[in-house]
């Protein structure tokens, strides 16, 4: 039976209903992970959980140690990863409260440690990243979203920005021209690091606000927190369905 790891983002620093059996404090070759890897039981099966931003939420997206996090999950026995991300909506269909299971990603970040293949290498390694998200895992997420009656899109392009600031109207306009449907700050390099470790990886994105210029109102943290509070119950129900399947 596949051992799933869940990476919780903003709004999901802990997984209610997870019966914790152990907390693994793993010291990776790349430094400390954001938080201990929690090993436990959820929806009747073994699962690993890691809070991407720490618990409590304290690590900004550009300072997350993505390599340590992915290495720790692999070391703990993860065989597949479901990442939960809070995002802004760019495409008109991506309104607040909508879910997206992206099929592509565009990386706008800079300066992040984005590969395990560096340093004193015996040979250069290139990984195929044509299709960054695992199709089978994406299908399971879409099936669970449909079963829960959630409004969702089964495909989309995730544009990953550096943060921690939100984007300008001009930046979002550029991203829309590039084909992005949603915008977040944590999708990369997490996605490619999973690929380098041969871990099937898919992203469950919850839209928590319209991206800059997609609404006449200013983006406020109160608005984002309200959307997170309303959407996390559905996130947990979807995760439980995938794990129970």
Domain annotation covers residue 201:
yes
pTM of the model: 0.92
Q: Residue 82 CA to chain centroid, in angstroms?
A: 7
Q: How far does the chain reach from its first CA to its final CA, in angstroms?
A: 11
Task: Say whether 232 counts as a known binding-site residue.
Answer: no
What is the biggest distance separating any 2 CA atoms in the chain, rounded to whole angstroms?
Answer: 54
Domain annotation covers residue 118:
no
Task: Say whether 209 counts as a known binding-site residue.
Answer: yes
C-alpha span between 193 and 219 (Å, rounded): 31
Neighbours of 163 (CB within 10 A): 16
Residue 180 has pLDDT above 80, yes or no: yes
Domain annotation covers residue 60:
yes
Q: What is the dihedral of CA 107, 27, 52, 69, to 10 degrees?
A: 40
Domain annotation covers residue 121:
no
* Confidence bin at 10 (pLDDT 50/70/90): low
Domain annotation covers residue 206:
yes
> Tokens standing for 216?
């006449």
Domain annotation covers residue 126:
no
Task: Say whether 91 counts as a known binding-site residue.
Answer: no
Residue 106 sits in a domain whose CATH number is 3.40.50.1580
Q: What is the DSSP string of 97-164?
A: T-EE--SEEEE---S----S--SS-SS------SS-S-HHHHHHHHHHHHHTT--EES--EEEE---S
Q: Residue 165 has what DSSP assignment?
A: S
User: What is the count of structural domains for the chain?
Assistant: 1
Task: Say whether 36 counts as a known binding-site residue.
Answer: no
Task: Say whether 53 counts as a known binding-site residue.
Answer: yes
Residue 34 has pLDDT above 60, yes or no: yes
Domain annotation covers residue 119:
no
Q: Which domain holds residue 212?
A: 4-113+131-244
Tens digit of pLDDT for each residue in 73-109? 999 999 999 999 999 999 999 999 999 999 999 999 9
Tens digit of pLDDT for each residue in 137-163? 999 999 999 999 999 999 999 999 999
Task: Say whether 52 counts as a known binding-site residue.
Answer: yes
Domain annotation covers residue 124:
no
């Amino acid at each position: 039976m596949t051992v799933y790891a869940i990476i919780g983002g903003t709004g999901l620093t802990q997984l209610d209903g997870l019966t914790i059996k152990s907390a693994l404090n793993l010291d990776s070759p790349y430094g400390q992970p954001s938080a201990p890897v929690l090993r436990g039981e959820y929806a009747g099966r073994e699962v690993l959980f890691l809070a991407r931003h720490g618990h409590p939420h304290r690590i900004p997206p550009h300072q997350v140690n993505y390599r340590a996090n992915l290495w720790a999950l692999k070391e703990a026995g993860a065989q597949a990863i479901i990442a939960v991300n809070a995002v802004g909506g760019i495409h008109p269909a991506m309104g607040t409260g909508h879910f997206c299971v992206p099929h592509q990603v565009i990386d706008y970040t800079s300066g992040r440690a984005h590969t395990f293949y560096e340093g004193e290498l015996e040979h250069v390694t290139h990984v195929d990243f044509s299709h960054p998200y695992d199709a089978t895992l994406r299908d399971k997420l879409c099936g669970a979203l449909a079963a829960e009656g959630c409004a969702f899109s089964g495909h989309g392009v995730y544009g990953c920005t550096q943060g921690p600031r939100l984007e300008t109207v001009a930046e979002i306009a550029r991203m829309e021209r590039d084909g992005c449907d949603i915008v977040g700050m944590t999708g990369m390099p997490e996605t490619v690091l999973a690929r380098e470790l041969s871990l099937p990886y898919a992203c469950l994105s919850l839209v928590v606000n319209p991206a800059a210029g997609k609404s006449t109102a200013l983006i406020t943290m109160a608005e984002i927190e309200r959307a997170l509070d309303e959407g996390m119950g559905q996130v947990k129900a979807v995760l439980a369905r995938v794990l129970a399947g």
